[in-house]
Structure 1
Amino acid sequence: MDILLLERLVPEALSWLEARHSVECRPELAAEPVALRKAAYKAQAVVLPRKVVVTQEFLDFAPMLKAVARMHVGTDNTDLEACRERKVRVIQATTANVRSNAEYLLASLLLLYRRGIGSSLIGDRHADIRLGRELNGSVVGIFGLAPTAHTLALMLHALGAKLIGYDPAVHHTAPIWSRLQVQPVSLQELMSHADAISVQVMYASRYQGFINDKMLAHCKQGQLWVGISRSHLFDAEALASALSDGRIEACMLDGAESGFASKGSPLHELSNLFLTPRLGSHTRESRLRASWYVAHRIHETLAAPRLSQLDQLASGPMELDGTGGNTGPKTPQFIIR
């Protein structure tokens, strides 16, 4: 077996890989660590879901491994140093979900601006009509300049929103701000001036609890929040307090970690917090882009040694004729497809 799939590719990309390599699709192994180790022993490449963590121990059980592939963004579930030491390539479809995540954030903003739509969608046809708001003319805070923010900014400009932004890792003089037509501001100004805030910070462990009481103390009353960043970015107590006292009118987050708003959490009973199960990246188009990217990079990785050997045959060693004389470089009698 060359390739072990724990996450399915689209049929076209899977067929393309199967025509070139031995492929085994075993998504059930994501919940069976012992069986996964046995299956990975002879695999040269694996495609893994988010919940499967790649550690040094995992790599020890996969001595032939050359590539670890993910259909999503984020490396906190992969020991990159261990992969470097073992010369295992880490493949991620980092841009495949940019558009779909931006559309998710825009849709979330529109739903929160017009909360009555949500009530109708869940079947409450006779709910009290709530006075909605318009994105046109409102101030939207771009919190974090991850690639998704670039696409979202274009969408929001087209709808007439004014954009201000902050990123803890991007200086306010960086040219990216002017290219996106986003006015860079301080964190306090972002909180106090934005009608709505979209969170797409590139998460790192140093940002755990970054959105805390001190930061949310400056919220403009009745603010709306949407986000696709890791929920570890939020201090749960601080967010619950802001949602309860009206500083944040409503918040919609995609893909919160386990326990974030479960029973026992201060967020558990709040009716103005909406969590979705990583819907941002779940579109046919993003799945197609991610599948083909992963398929091509895996093939590229596994074919590399073979192609290198073919190059050496084509231009390196000289072939001897029957009399012991050199006849020049041998021309390969095959075609690489």
Structure 2
Amino acid sequence: MADIVITEFMDEAAVADLAARRDTLYDPGLVDRPADLLAAARDCRALVVRNRTQVRGELLAAAQRLVVVGRLGVGLDNIDIDACAARGVVVRPATGANDVSVAEYVIASAMLLLRGAYRATPDVVAGLWPRNALMNGREISGKRLGLIGFGSIARETARRAGALGMSIVAHDPFVPTDAPIWGELGARPESLDALLAASDVVSLHVPLTDQTRSLLDAAAIARMARGAILINAARGGVVDEPALAEALRAGRIGGAALDVFDAEPLPAEKAAVFAGCPNLILTPHIAGLTEEANGRVSSLTAANVLHELDRAGA
């Protein structure tokens, strides 16, 4: 059986690096075959996963020889961190490797939603000319960006936003108000309520925890500035999706981009809540997935896994 089991997509060059050093099973469809996944996990020393593989419960119990979990990304809500720690299993996310990709997604989404011009494509193709209807699009320059969470991805987003002429506020109780990073990025710490009330664009950058689940519920969305844009490329479950859809249809906020959802893949019955919502972008959890980011994430994860296996003498 393989020492390293890779259950989801990984860049082929990084797979080759692992295979050159250790017996490696690469099967990106393994996540969808639970029985085969359990069988493969029984003798492996390393599991390499993205966000869909649930490293907990039965899978974790089966992997009795497990030394390290390499996470192709940064979110850890699909991994039982406490159970891993209790068994001495090291969990290594690819911290920092997709920061640029997600930051660019946020900025691009904000510009699209503020301007609104992308909605003209079907009309122009049909021979219409909706120029007058699209004359009130908004520029990103001079707008205020509110970042909920001020970790590494939010900071990359702030750098790009500042270069485009945005002012920046952020709410993060884990970053001291006198930390040098605020001045370095020209950002200002703010309370959550004040941020929601005064930001033209609100972008989420928090993990999914008991404290952040439904953080943006109906009441919080109602506190957002009228016409504001909401972007969630962090974790599903942080935004109350039906409440957001209602706010969009009612015109209380100006638009939204969601890359993550409470249930993934998003079932048709849950996706139906967004029917008829204006100025909405929905993408299938790809903000951190670009050609460049895939290479960085995969390379870093391969290095992390090999390091932990060597360190453990496994």
Report how far residue 85 of structure 1 moved.
2.0
Report how far residue 237 of structure 1 moved.
3.9
CA distance in 2, matches of 1:66, 1:188: 43
Alpha carbons of 1:118 and 1:169: their partners in 2 closer, same or farther (altered >3 Å)? farther
1:128 equivalent in structure 2: 130
Q: Which among 278, 288, 291 is matched to residue 284 of structure 1?
A: 291
Tell whether the 8 Å contact from 2:6 to 2:27 is kept in structure 1 after alignment.
Answer: yes
Tell whether the 8 Å contact from 1:256 to 1:275 is kept in structure 2 after alignment.
Answer: no
2:67 equivalent in structure 1: 66
CA distance in 2, matches of 1:246, 1:261: 25
Quick check: 232-241 or 22-31, which moved more?
232-241
Q: 2:295 matched to 1:294?
A: no
The AA in structure 2 aligned to 1:254 is D
Query: RCO (CA 8 Å, sep 6+): is it higher in 1 or 2?
Result: 2
1:327 equivalent in structure 2: none
Q: 2:217 matched to 1:212?
A: yes
Matches within 5 A, 1:32-181: 32-120=33-121, 124=125, 126=128, 128-129=130-131, 130-131=134-135, 132-181=137-186
CA distance in 2, matches of 1:164, 1:107: 19
Tell whether the 8 Å contact from 2:236 to 2:261 is kept in structure 1 after alignment.
Answer: yes
Report how far residue 101 of structure 1 moved.
0.2
Ranges in structure 1 where 5+ consecutive residues have no aligned partner: 308-337
CA distance in 2, matches of 1:15, 1:162: 44
Alpha carbons of 1:246 and 1:261: their partners in 2 closer, same or farther (altered >3 Å)? farther
Deviations 1:124-147 (A, max 9, x none): 463523122111112222222131
CA distance in 1, matches of 2:267, 2:178: 37
CA distance in 2, matches of 1:71, 1:123: 41
CA distance in 1, matches of 2:112, 2:87: 47
Q: Secondary structure at the match of 2:111?
A: helix
Question: Given the two structures, how large is their TM-score scaled by the length of structure 1?
Answer: 0.83
Q: 2:260 matched to 1:255?
A: yes
Tell whether the 8 Å contact from 1:146 to 1:202 is kept in structure 2 after alignment.
Answer: no
- Which has the higher Rg, Structure 1 or Structure 2? 1
The AA in structure 1 aligned to 2:6 is L
Report how far residue 99 of structure 1 moved.
0.7
Query: Aligned pairs, how many?
Result: 307
Q: 2:231 matched to 1:226?
A: yes
Report how far residue 109 of structure 1 moved.
0.8
Ranges in structure 2 where 5+ consecutive residues have no aligned partner: none
Q: Secondary structure at the match of 1:248?
A: coil
CA distance in 2, matches of 1:83, 1:122: 54
- Percent of pairs with identical residues: 31
Q: 2:191 matched to 1:190?
A: no
CA distance in 2, matches of 1:110, 1:121: 20
RMSD: 2.4
1:267 equivalent in structure 2: 274
